[in-house]
């Protein structure tokens, strides 16, 4: 997808950044499905994501970055496998689970010691991360247990007025969620099959992965 934003979407992104910096929550398109997010340093906003989705507290959120090289800002001891996957498949519909940096809130990681990192191939979340100058914490823009939203209207139907703004930049291109791969063990393991295929992951790694 082109990384150019229309003037209408640019104005929506500017408003979203104002809301995020003030500790609010916004919804937005990604390359996979629509997401809902908050600034990583706004703990009350992170709590709000769980509240408005009805999301169980034991489920961690994802951390969105704009550049592969920024992974070390939120993850520690990044293994070679993560860099190989990032080089081959990111930006894109792949989420990497790595050991977390200590500064990340327990709200983001569900009090665990790992972090789920996304670098989306979509200009809107990239613009939000770069505008914040910090990671964006996000998850899918739907009520817990309901189908993921792939358009702004679908997100609106589920979330109604629970979020301050839903950026409408057209349908999410893939229409399905990211593939999640855990890289914290001795062998990479796919936790959720999504946009990126197992074959693509194995080709990038040069090895088999556990389902």
What does the longest C-alpha to C-alpha distance in the chain come to?
A: 47
pLDDT band, very low/low/confident/very high, at 85 (cuts 50, 70, 90): very high
Give per-residue pLDDT as tens, 110-123.
999 999 999 999 99
**What average pLDDT does the chain have?**
95
pLDDT of 1 strictly over 70: no
CA 93 → CA 34, 118, 199, distances in Å? 13, 8, 14
What is the SS3 assignment for 189?
strand
pLDDT of 173 strictly over 50: yes
The distance in angstroms from the start CA to the end CA of the chain is 29
- Quote the pTM value: 0.95
Question: What pLDDT was estimated at residue 31?
Answer: 97
Report, as an integer, the average pLDDT of 94-114.
Answer: 97
Share of the chain above pLDDT 70, in %: 99
DSSP state at residue 34: E
pLDDT of 128 strictly over 70: yes
Question: What pLDDT was estimated at residue 208?
Answer: 87
What is the SS3 assignment for 31?
coil
Question: What pLDDT was estimated at residue 3?
Answer: 57
Give per-residue pLDDT as tens, 21-37.
999 999 999 999 999 99
Question: What pLDDT was estimated at residue 211?
Answer: 75
Beta carbons within 8 Å of 116's beta carbon, 6+ residues apart:
60, 61, 62, 63, 95, 96, 97, 180
The radius of gyration computed from the CA coordinates of the chain, to the nearest angstrom, equals: 16
Domains and CATH numbers, the chain: 7-205 (3.90.870.10)
Buried b / exposed e along 21-43 (16+ C-beta atoms within 10 A): eeebbbbbbbbbbbbbbbbbebe
């Amino acid at each position: 997808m082109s990384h150019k934003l229309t003037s209408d979407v640019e104005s929506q992104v500017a408003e979203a950044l104002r809301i995020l910096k003030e500790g609010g929550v916004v919804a937005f398109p990604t390359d996979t499905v629509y997401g809902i997010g908050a600034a990583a340093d706004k703990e009350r906003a992170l709590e709000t994501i769980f509240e408005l989705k009805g999301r169980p507290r034991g489920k961690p959120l994802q951390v969105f970055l704009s550049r592969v090289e920024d992974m070390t800002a939120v993850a520690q001891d990044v293994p070679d496998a993560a860099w190989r996957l990032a080089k081959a498949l990111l930006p894109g519909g792949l989420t990497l689970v790595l050991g977390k940096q200590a500064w990340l809130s327990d709200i983001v990681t569900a009090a665990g010691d790992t972090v789920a990192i996304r670098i989306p191939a979509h200009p809107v979340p990239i613009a939000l991360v770069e505008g914040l100058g910090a990671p964006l914490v996000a998850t899918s823009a739907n009520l817990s247990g309901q189908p993921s939203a792939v358009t702004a209207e679908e997100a609106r139907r589920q979330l109604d007025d629970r979020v301050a703004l839903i950026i409408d930049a057209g349908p999410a291109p893939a229409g399905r969620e990211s593939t999640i791969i855990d890289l914290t063990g001795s062998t990479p393991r796919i936790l959720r099959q999504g946009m990126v295929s197992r074959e693509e992951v194995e080709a990038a790694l040069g090895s088999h992965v556990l389902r």
